[in-house]
Amino acid sequence: MIKSLRNQLVVALGLLVSAVGLLQGISSYHLCRTGMDALLDMRLEQVATRMRDGFAEGIPQNPARGTQDDRDVVVVVWKPDEATPFRTTDPSLRFPRDATAGFGSYQVNDESWRVFTRQDPTMTIQVAQRNAVRRELTREAATQTLWPIVVLLPLVWIAVALVVSRSLRRLKRLGAKVQGIDTANLEPLPTSGVPAEIAPFIHSINTMIERLAQSIESERKFIADAAHELRTPLTALQLQADNLAPHIAPGNQERFRELRRGIGRAGSLITQLLRMARADAPMGATPLTQVNIATVVTSAVADVLPIALQRGLDIGAEEMVEAHVRAVETDIGMAVKNVVSNAVRYTPDGGTIDLRMRRERDMVWVDVVDTGPGIAETLLPRVFDRFFRANPDIEGSGLGLSIVKAIAQRYGGDVSLRNRDDGRSGIVASIGFPVEESGVATEANAATATA
């Protein structure tokens, strides 16, 4: 079963045109055969008329046998009261002298002949032609009428395919736009130039996009408002805990520290929620700048370095490339720092975290490779879900990678997470952004001018 609408239309229209062409060919073939029969009959009649007008005496009285081509017509002229033909082009052939005037078919010398007989007072003229020759001539002429159809049918199929493809080009563009719809791109589909048959479908999709955008915006506002409202009482609670710290009895110190850690975790969660709301928000009025990814990576390593040194982690950048992206610098910094912080959180003490940059066509990638325990393959598809934590025993909000993915999609980038395949345990986290070539060229030119 053909699932492609384009292929269905091409096959249907092609078969329809082929059927019409086939019927036209059959009709032309039969009409041509009928016309050729009439033309050959007229030729016989014309020859008989010429013989009556005095051309009969031009036929030799005793022609040699076998000198006439089988495809030629045979002429026999009879005179009244004579038993033998007055003139004949082939003495071996004797057609019925008393044949009815006009056309008739006769069997002579084991061959079928088409004979035209003209009865005049002074002579009887018979002009004959082999039916086998007539069929051959008719078939050759009729076959010639089929060649245009044989040549045109493939061209018609090509033309049908081109016309259908051109007609569906608009649908392909709409399909590409539909595929690009996600939480970061909820623009309605264009309706100008859309065929009337699919206009209701496009309207339904646009209505769905509008509702989805409203739902996502409501969710984002709720998260942002809730996080903002919770920040004030948590800050006040933190201050009260700090003021209360000197007055805690020694036996309650451990419980008090646990309380302060809980307040800290709640504060971190609120901060992540605010970052999530900001990452989900559409592009605002914040101007985009050319961000040096190498600088962002260096800054991310510097931010987590104190924690890494405290835990004995070996963290560093192996390969760095010069590449710029057009974005809000704080967004890119937050995404890269979250990936690095995630590696620090899940890598055991004394482990290694390597950062490297690479350039692939129009994308710049930052790879963060750790020596942690890795993630079960069944859980990898869920690592970017909000509030999902692959290892519940390690402290975290479950929003870090969701924020990274939202920021990457916001700027046309991508992010991936996979287990190492070099025989060691650990994760390879990769985040990529489109490169701003003009930014690299501008800085290079500026450096050259300064030098």
User: Is residue 449 over pLDDT 50?
Assistant: no
User: Is residue 282 over pLDDT 80?
Assistant: no
User: Is residue 256 over pLDDT 60?
Assistant: yes
pLDDT tens digit string along 228-253? 666 667 777 778 778 878 878 788 88
Mean pLDDT of 393-398: 68
The single-letter DSSP state of residue 62 is S
CATH among 1.25.40.10, 3.30.420.40, 1.10.3470.10, 1.10.287.130 for 199-280: 1.10.287.130
Q: What is the pLDDT of residue 434?
A: 92
Helices and strands of the chain, counted as H and E runs? 9, 12
Q: What is the pLDDT of residue 430?
A: 92
Mean pLDDT of 88-97: 82
User: Is residue 413 over pLDDT 50?
Assistant: yes
| DSSP codes joined into one string, 81-117 | T-SS-SEES-TT----TTPPSEEEEEEETTEEEEEEE
Task: Please name every residue paired with 370 in a beta bridge, in sequence order, or none if there are none.
Answer: 353
Burial classification of residue 131, based on how many CB atoms lie within 10 Å of its CB (0-12 exposed, 13-18 middle, 19 or more buried): middle
Q: What are the Cα distances from residue 136, in Å, to 25, 47, 140, 197, 367?
A: 19, 20, 6, 54, 80
Q: What is the pLDDT of residue 278?
A: 66
Q: What is the pLDDT of residue 285?
A: 55
Return all residues near 272 (Cβ < 8 A) that are at least 6 apart: 397, 399, 400, 403
The pTM for the full model equals: 0.50
User: Is residue 441 over pLDDT 60?
Assistant: no
| DSSP codes joined into one string, 230-290 | HHHHHHHHHHHHHHHGGG--GGGHHHHHHHHHHHHHHHHHHHHHHHHHHHHSPP-SPPPEE
* Separation between Cα atoms, residue 72 and residue 114, nearest integer Å: 12
Q: Look up residue 276 and give its amino acid.
A: M
Q: What tokens does 100 get? A: 């009815």
SS3 317: strand
Q: What is the pLDDT of residue 369?
A: 92
User: Is residue 286 over pLDDT 90?
Assistant: no
* Candidate from 161-165, 396-400, 403-407, 413-417 with smallest mean pLDDT: 396-400
Q: Are 128 and 104 in contact (CB under 8 A)?
A: no
Class in CATH terms, 6-144: alpha beta
Residue with tokens 């390593």: 301
**Percent of the chain residues topping a pLDDT of 70:** 85
pLDDT tens digit string along 172-217? 777 777 777 766 667 788 777 777 777 788 888 888 888 887 777 7
User: Is residue 53 over pLDDT 70?
Assistant: yes
**Among 191, 188, 176, residue whose Cα is nearest residue 214:** 188
| Domain 289-450 belongs in CATH node 2.40.30.10 | no
**Domains of the chain, residue spans:** 6-144, 199-280, 289-450
User: Is residue 166 over pLDDT 90?
Assistant: no
Mean pLDDT of 55-78: 75
When pLDDT is cut at 50, 70 and 90, the band that residue 407 belongs to is confident
Compute the mean pLDDT over every residue in the chain, rounded to the nearest whole number.
81
β-bridge pairing 124-130 and 74-78:
antiparallel
Q: What is the pLDDT of residue 451?
A: 37
Q: Look up residue 106 and give its amino acid.
A: Y
